[in-house]
Amino acid sequence: MSGTSSDSTITLIGAGLAGALLAILLSKRGYRAELYERRPDPRMRAGSAGQSINLALSTRGLHGLQQAGLADTVRQRSIKMPGRIIHTLDGETRFQPYGVNPSEVLYAISRAELQNLLLDALVNDPNVQITFDAKCVEVNAAKQTLTLSHESTGEITTLTRPHLIGTDGSSSAVRSAMLRTPRFDYSQTYLEHGYKELTIPPAPDGSFQIEPHALHIWPRGTYMLIALPNLDCSFTCTLFMPFAGAVSFEALSTPDAIAEFFRQQFPDVVPLMPHLVDDFTANPTGSLVTIKCAPWHYRDHLLLLGDAAHAIVPFFGQGMNCAFEDCTELDACIEADAPDWEHVFANFSSRRKPNTDAIADMAVDHYIEMRDRVADPHFLLQKQIEQELAKRFPEQYTPQYSLVTFQRIPYAQAREQAHIHERILQQLSAHIDHLDQVDWHQAERFIQRELPLSREGAA
């Protein structure tokens, strides 16, 4: 079977987070969007919500949702996290605010709920057509065709489509087709750490068992546990840990080993997780990958966006935020250059790629920092100096975390700033071992020289 569509129809493969948001933005611009999604409609799965997985939403992602008119609704369905609570091994807790400004908060939102809110906004839109249970199994770039497999009926459909955007996530089928186009660069790099999701359920009276307005972290050197709150008063926890080695997923292969490990390393968590061992055994161990590729487009026919173009590791909580920012960046390119689609796609790729490379690298650096440096006293001293610099020079010194999370300056610029910060911190911390020994006059000179107030592009 075959069909064609008009030039003002954009076909999206994958109605996940980025695909659904992009379809809303395309419709707002007057384009028709058709989406093909591999899975069944998630909104039909009433009562089988299963494990709740949540995401930290921040400024860049909220901006995308704002453009779609959904930011307020999403904020109302999420939980504000103004800071992180660090849990030490001896059970002490320490609250660290994320920003100096009260608006600098993260929002914990259920992935399923966010997905459903986006789909709800789409289904009654006359410009948008979604077909669920339609897995893209083949894209032929030269012939401009795509082949879909409808898993529930076994039907196979081949369609001709002029403009196709792959929003089909990190295992993208559209990217597989791009791999067969000339001079396409591709790399994937796995971390030696994986992750496992666990749950802290609500207390017997239905309330939260720990403080809901925070992202909880139990840092333990080469591994760590984090927890984000859900509206049903549970927490979704994620354990990041090496796949192999002395302390690893591989080593936790028996119920006794799992229980003993948690008793020793996360004693305050054990009473909160009555199903810990069962959950640990039943839930899969996920891997963490960075994917980079180029170019993201093929003529005016194919484009990759979101995780399909650039999967990043989650240590800055930016994958979805970055994918939503992709959508607003593409929207700006469409405003400037459509209907010259080749120009739109090329311009989007060349503007965006240096920034997604930057956040991919910053996310890996952050992982290395957490893995190797959290116990290094000199590194901890630099972090103290950094906090003091941010307090003393708030107009000039914005820590990297805030630049990435609470501002919309290009990621590449945030990384450039972070390199300058690193230089300043290295110089200020050389030959000292305590915050009291910092030469603040020297600090001021460095700041005025390296971070002048009129920094271009600061948002």
Ligand X SMILES: Cc1cc2nc3c(=O)[nH]c(=O)nc-3n(C[C@H](O)[C@H](O)[C@H](O)COP(=O)(O)OP(=O)(O)OC[C@H]3O[C@@H](n4cnc5c(N)ncnc54)[C@H](O)[C@@H]3O)c2cc1C
Summarize as ranges the residues that interact with ligand X (CB under 6 A): 13-19, 36-39, 55-56, 61, 135-136, 167-169, 173, 195, 238, 286, 306-308, 314, 317-321, 323
* Residue of closest CB approach to ligand X: 16
- Give least dist CB 439 to ligand X, A: 38
The single-letter code of the amino acid at 309 is A
Q: Residue 405 — φ and ψ, nearest 5°?
A: -90, -35
DSSP-assigned letter for residue 237: E
> What angle, rounded to 10 degrees, do the helices at 59-67 and 17-28 form?
40
The neighbouring-strand residues paired with 56 are 108
- Give least dist CB 314 to ligand X, A: 4
- Give least dist CB 419 to ligand X, A: 23
Give me 181's structure tokens. Answer: 């186009």
Cβ within 8 Å of residue 378, ≥6 positions away: 429, 433
| CB closer to ligand X, 19 vs 295 | 19
- Give least dist CB 420 to ligand X, A: 25
Give me 353's structure tokens. Answer: 């790629």
- Give least dist CB 166 to ligand X, A: 9
Other CB atoms within 10 Å distance of the CB of residue 313: 22
| CB closer to ligand X, 336 vs 368 | 368
The single-letter code of the amino acid at 12 is L
- Give least dist CB 137 to ligand X, A: 7
**Cα(267)–Cα(25) distance, integer angstroms:** 47
| CB closer to ligand X, 11 vs 265 | 11
- Give least dist CB 247 to ligand X, A: 19
| CB closer to ligand X, 234 vs 382 | 234
Give me 347's structure tokens. Answer: 């311009």
CA 44 to chain CA centroid, Å, is: 26
CA 270 to chain CA centroid, Å, is: 28
| CB closer to ligand X, 74 vs 320 | 320
- Give least dist CB 84 to ligand X, A: 13
| CB closer to ligand X, 307 vs 357 | 307
| CB closer to ligand X, 149 vs 181 | 149
Give me 356's structure tokens. Answer: 């997604």
Give me 424's structure tokens. Answer: 């300043």
- Give least dist CB 53 to ligand X, A: 8
| CB closer to ligand X, 215 vs 273 | 215
| CB closer to ligand X, 57 vs 385 | 57
**Contact criterion met (CB below 8 Å) for 299 and 342:** yes
| CB closer to ligand X, 19 vs 229 | 19
Q: In the block, which residue shows the tokens 């750490």?
A: 193
**Cα(78)–Cα(201) distance, integer angstroms:** 17
- Give least dist CB 15 to ligand X, A: 6
**Cα(355)–Cα(172) distance, integer angstroms:** 20
The angle formed by the CA atoms of residues 47, 285 and 367, to the nearest 5 degrees, is 115
The neighbouring-strand residues paired with 185 are 294
The single-letter code of the amino acid at 354 is P
| CB closer to ligand X, 38 vs 220 | 38
**Contact criterion met (CB below 8 Å) for 381 and 362:** no
**Listed residue (8, 30, 242, 208) closest to 127, CA to CA:** 30
E-only strand ranges, 62-160: 79-81, 83-87, 93-97, 106-110, 128-131, 135-140, 145-150, 155-160
- Give least dist CB 288 to ligand X, A: 7
Helices and strands (H, E) in the chain, number of each type: 13, 19
